[in-house]
Amino acid sequence: MSASDRPSFYVTTAIAYPNGAPHIGHAYEYISTDALARFKRLDGFDVFFLTGTDEHGQKVQQAAKAAGVPEAEYAAGNSDVFERMDKALEISFDRFIRTTDSDHHAASVAIWERMAASGDIYLDTYAGWYSVRDEAFYTPEETTVLEDGTRISTDTKTPVEWTEESNYFFRLSNYQDKLLEFFERHPEFIAPSTRRNEIVSYVKAGLKDLSISRTTFDWGVPVPGDPAHVMYVWVDALTNYLTGAGFPDTNSESFQKFWPADVHIIGKDITRFHCVYWPAFLMSAGIELPKRVFVHGFLYNKGEKMSKSVGNVVDPMELVDTYGLDAVRFFLLREISYGQDGSYSHEAIVGRINSDLANEYGNLAQRCLKMVARDFGSAVPTPGEFTEEDTALLDRARGLLEKVRAEYDQQQLHLGLEHLWLTLGETNRYFSSQAPWTLAKSGTPEDVAREGTVLYVTMEVLRIVSILVQPVIPGAAGKILDLLGQTGREFADVATALEPGITLPEPEVVFPKYVEPKA
């Protein structure tokens, strides 16, 4: 099927501020979104996967100043670090967008002009408590004065400064009813439902107009017709999702194909921007709304918030060096319920490597393939008649695609893996109870034939599980499929049973156990 015949799927991550090095929370967002993108590609979709960096705004400008480097150079340098990390994590993005890209500039101007044409933008003076870290204004009631006299945002605990300026405002207050109506009609728009409930209550409490330009600094997209102002960084940042699809050329093939986005993947601290501001901007601009925003949780180091001062910020690349890429990808997606907060620790990662990957998956493949090599001249044995146990296990494996797909459709990545590992658990029990090594030892023609059937059934399950686990551990699953002599690796190939007689390569260990280095 050519790309144009396949159904489309457009998925995005948040675009990170390049004001520091990427951390494990960023890596988690990219890896999980990558699994969704890979799943859809293998399932026959024409996927567009967008990620990148959010280069404008005061936060990046201040970091550049502190580093003594011009903003553009600073942002570009740090964006490169993010892009390199994405590649090292095998993130299969189709575009790495930077908000300094020229097509993005054009898209930001275009959405502004559309919102202005709708009568939703006006100029007013504004005074309020501004948090640079949050890039947001707070009312006096939303702030607290600490004992030492500093004032902070009560909610986010970041310092705020009194700021007065003439700003452009967006008539967000006009969108309260429209948003509530939209949430009502599209209960699937915000997931998980706890996030949806939070947003619905927030909007019900009333919306104030939103300041959407700044004059106190200049690192941003100039407001069309009034270049003394730059756009509020979130106007420009959210618009990246449109730029990626080809906006402002709404007649382009890519826009027609990929907009509206199927799902925006974001972390829980930026839900309001994506579920309130973004849909309101789009309604105002007369552009269709994305189909869904899925909010993942935060990652903590042994349950503690990562912070530079505590010194527990983990460099994702260090984890990859220590445990291997597939182990890190697998751990993050298996251990943490997607949508909830999670924690990582050395012990937890090693536990997953040794039990789930080395024992239940790798060791099963290794034991089975070694017997095929030794007893069947490295050719896939021809199965005899299937027993009830054989059929039950084969049916279970053949039903996996549908089950896993249903979980991925709801972004329940951990449950997708759970189905696969329950089946591997069942297969390990089957393998032990059938004891093919005893059949081999007996050596009678019937027992050897039965051994061949048991090995065939086990390999068939391994083939299906390996095809379906590729989105999470593309490297290792690919290796096991190599060892099983398989070239058909798309989900459509699940239905074509393992062919007896094909010759297999020399078996090798794909998942070694993690052994603690000697002190």
Nearest to 319 by CA among 352, 364, 366: 352
Q: According to CB under 6 A, which one of 43, 46, 54, 451 is a site residue for ligand ME8?
A: 54
Check if the beta carbon of residue 325 is closer than 8 Å to that of residue 90: yes
Q: Name the DSSP class of 304.
A: B
Shortest spacing between CB 220 and ligand ME8, in angstroms: 13
Considering beta carbons, is residue 319 or 462 the nearer one to ligand ME8?
319
Write each residue from 446 to 485 as x if it is in contact with ligand ME8 (CB under 6 A), else as -, in one continuous string: ----------------------------------------
Considering beta carbons, is residue 267 or 478 the nearer one to ligand ME8?
267
Alpha-carbon span 173 to 162, nearest angstrom = 23
Q: According to CB under 6 A, which one of 9, 11, 15, 86 is a site residue for ligand ME8?
A: 15
Check if the beta carbon of residue 355 is closer than 8 Å to that of residue 368: no
Identify any residues that bridge with 164 across adjacent strands, giving them in sequence order. 127
Shortest spacing between CB 233 and ligand ME8, in angstroms: 8
Asked if 270 interacts with ligand ME8 (CB under 6 A), we say yes
**Part of the chain binding ligand ME8 (CB under 6 A), chosen from 263-271, 426-434, 437-445, 480-488:** 263-271
**DSSP per residue over 478-506, as a string?**
HHHHHHTT----SGGGGGSPPPTT-B-PP
Alpha-carbon span 236 to 115, nearest angstrom = 13
Considering beta carbons, is residue 226 or 304 the nearer one to ligand ME8?
304
Considering beta carbons, is residue 12 or 470 the nearer one to ligand ME8?
12
Closest-by-Cβ residue to ligand ME8 is: 267
- Identify residues 221-250 at the interface with ligand ME8 (CB under 6 A): 237-238, 240
Shortest spacing between CB 293 and ligand ME8, in angstroms: 11
Assign 3-class secondary structure to 98-133: ECCCHHHHHHHHHHHHHHHHCCCEEEEEEEEEEECC
Which spans in 253-324 are helix H? 253-258, 271-272, 278-285, 316-323
- Give me the residue label for tokens 């930001």: 108
Shortest spacing between CB 478 and ligand ME8, in angstroms: 27
Asked if 43 interacts with ligand ME8 (CB under 6 A), we say no
Shortest spacing between CB 89 and ligand ME8, in angstroms: 14
Considering beta carbons, is residue 16 or 36 the nearer one to ligand ME8?
16
Question: Beta strands 121-131 and 161-170: pairing type?
Answer: antiparallel
Is omega for the bond preceding 192 within 30 degrees of 0, making it cis? yes
Considering beta carbons, is residue 138 or 361 the nearer one to ligand ME8?
138
Containing 71, the helix (H) or strand (E) segment is helix 71-88
Asked if 52 interacts with ligand ME8 (CB under 6 A), we say no
Asked if 283 interacts with ligand ME8 (CB under 6 A), we say no
Considering beta carbons, is residue 99 or 486 the nearer one to ligand ME8?
99
Shortest spacing between CB 236 and ligand ME8, in angstroms: 9
Nearest to 465 by CA among 411, 415, 404, 408: 404
Asked if 97 interacts with ligand ME8 (CB under 6 A), we say no
Considering beta carbons, is residue 315 or 493 the nearer one to ligand ME8?
315
Which spans in 377-510 are helix H? 388-398, 400-409, 413-434, 436-442, 445-469, 474-483
Considering beta carbons, is residue 28 or 330 the nearer one to ligand ME8?
28
Considering beta carbons, is residue 288 or 341 the nearer one to ligand ME8?
341
- The count of residues interacting with ligand ME8 (CB under 6 A) is 19
Q: According to CB under 6 A, which one of 298, 313, 348, 410 is a site residue for ligand ME8?
A: 298
CA angle, residues 249, 253, 254, in degrees to nearest 5:
80
Nearest to 45 by CA among 97, 92, 109, 82: 92
Nearest to 465 by CA among 409, 422, 414: 422
Shortest spacing between CB 442 and ligand ME8, in angstroms: 55
**Part of the chain binding ligand ME8 (CB under 6 A), chosen from 8-16, 33-41, 105-113, 205-213:** 8-16
Check if the beta carbon of residue 363 is closer than 8 Å to that of residue 482: no
Judged by the rule CB under 6 A, the positions of this chain that interact with ligand ME8 are 14-17, 25-26, 28-29, 54, 237-238, 240, 266-267, 269-270, 298-299, 306
